[in-house]
C-alpha cells in the first residue's frame, strides 16, 4: 500500500483550488493509498528556538521539544513513497508556513551531509508533486510577476535527496470563478498524461 504525505499551506484551507487539486491527486495515486495530511496553517508549527539550534549542532540535549518535532516531521517524510505539496505563492516566494516546515526537515547530519563542500541528500528520492497556486500569472505570455518559489523549492528539496520534483501550475486565480475552473481543467488534462495518477479519483479514499 503506497503512503502519501500531503503538505497543505494555503490560508484558504478547504476552499483553496490548489488544495482541492492536491487532495484529488492523492486519491488518484492508488485506491488504497495511506494519506498523511500535514496542514501547516490549520496546525501551525512553532517557531524555531535557541534550544533547537543548539540541539542540531550537538550543544544541548536532543530531548528539546522542537528537535523532537523535527524528528517527527522527517519521519513522516521518510515513511512516504510520494510527496504532495499544495502551496500558494506569497510575494514571489514560498509562504512562511512552508518555509518553517523546510527549516525543520532540512537538517544537517540527518537529512543531508556536507562532503568536500557539497551537500549530499540522505533521503531516498521519491516522486514529488508541487501544486503551485497564484492569483496572477508568472509563466507564459500573460506573465507579469517573478517566480522565485519554483527554483528555490526544487533546489532545497534536492539538498535532502528529493530530485524527482514536478510542478502543477494554477495561475490567474484572482480573475474569478471562470479562471479558477479553467486552471483546474488544464491541470487535470496535464495530469491525465502522467502514469502516476488514475483517470478518476477513487471515491472510497478519503483525504
- How would you write the pLDDT of the chain (207 residues) with one tens digit per residue? 899 999 999 999 889 999 999 999 999 998 789 999 999 999 999 999 988 888 888 777 677 889 999 999 999 999 999 999 999 999 999 999 999 999 999 999 999 999 999 999 999 999 999 999 999 999 999 999 999 999 999 999 999 999 999 999 999 999 999 999 999 999 999 999 999 997 766 555 455
Bridge partners, residue 83, by sequence: 5, 128
Structural domains counted in the chain:
1
Q: Is residue 76 situated within a structural domain?
A: yes
Q: How far apart are CA 14 and CA 5, in angstroms?
A: 17
Q: Is residue 171 situated within a structural domain?
A: yes
Q: Is residue 129 situated within a structural domain?
A: yes
Q: Which CATH number goes with the domain that contains 134? A: 3.40.50.360
Q: Is residue 197 situated within a structural domain?
A: no
Amino acid at each position: 500500500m503506497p503512503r502519501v504525505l500531503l503538505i497543505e499551506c494555503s490560508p484558504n484551507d478547504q476552499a483553496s483550488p490548489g488544495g482541492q487539486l492536491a487532495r484529488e491527486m492523492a486519491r488518484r495515486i492508488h485506491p488504497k493509498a495511506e494519506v498523511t495530511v500535514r496542514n501547516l496553517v490549520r496546525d501551525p508549527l512553532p517557531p524555531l528556538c535557541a534550544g533547537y539550534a543548539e540541539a542540531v549542532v550537538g550543544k544541548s540535549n536532543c530531548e528539546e521539544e522542537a528537535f523532537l518535532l523535527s524528528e517527527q516531521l522527517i519521519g513522516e517524510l521518510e515513511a512516504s513513497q510520494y510527496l504532495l505539496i499544495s502551496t500558494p505563492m506569497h510575494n514571489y516566494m514560498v509562504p512562511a508556513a512552508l518555509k518553517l516546515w523546510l527549516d525543520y526537515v532540512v537538517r544537517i547530519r540527518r537529512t543531508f551531509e556536507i562532503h568536500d563542500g557539497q551537500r549530499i541528500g540522505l533521503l531516498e528520492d521519491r516522486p514529488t508533486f508541487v501544486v503551485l497556486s497564484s492569483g496572477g500569472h508568472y509563466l507564459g505570455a500573460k506573465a507579469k510577476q517573478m517566480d522565485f518559489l519554483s527554483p528555490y523549492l526544487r533546489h532545497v528539496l534536492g539538498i535532502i535527496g528529493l530530485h524527482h520534483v514536478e510542478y502543477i501550475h494554477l495561475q490567474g486565480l484572482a480573475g474569478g470563478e471562470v479562471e479558477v475552473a479553467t486552471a483546474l481543467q488544464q491541470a487535470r488534462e496535464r495530469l491525465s498524461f502522467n502514469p502516476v495518477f488514475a483517470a478518476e479519483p477513487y471515491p472510497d479514499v478519503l483525504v
